[in-house]
Amino acid sequence: MSDDVLRIEKLENGFTVEVRDPKVDAANQKPKANWQSPWKEYAFSTAKEVIAFVTSHLDSLPKSAGDEFNDAAAEAFSKD
């Protein structure tokens, strides 16, 4: 997976925000999958709209490699 999880581009008349769709990412990982771009693009007129959109999607962004490692290590060393 790419290191990018969110892209914001400033345009002459507003902004575009691209986020990765985790369902498409998962489907692309399956053998013999018909690969599709996982990026979904949204357009906004104002910075305020961009901030609201990004804020509402922060929890859905994928974990960093460090967080994934820490979660796996915690699970591996748990006493359950």
Segment 22-65, tens digit of pLDDT = 888 889 888 887 999 989 999 999 999 999 999 988 777 766 67
- Give the C-alpha separation, 39 to 7, whole Å: 9
Tokens 């490699």 correspond to 65
Spans of all domains in the chain: 6-76
Q: pLDDT per residue over 2-12, tens digit each?
A: 567 789 999 99
Q: What size, in residues, is the chain?
A: 80
The set of residues, in sequence order, having a beta carbon less than 8 Å from that of 31 and lying 6+ positions away, is: none
pTM for this one? 0.67
CA–CA–CA angle 25, 29, 34 (5° rounding) = 85
DSSP character for 52?
H
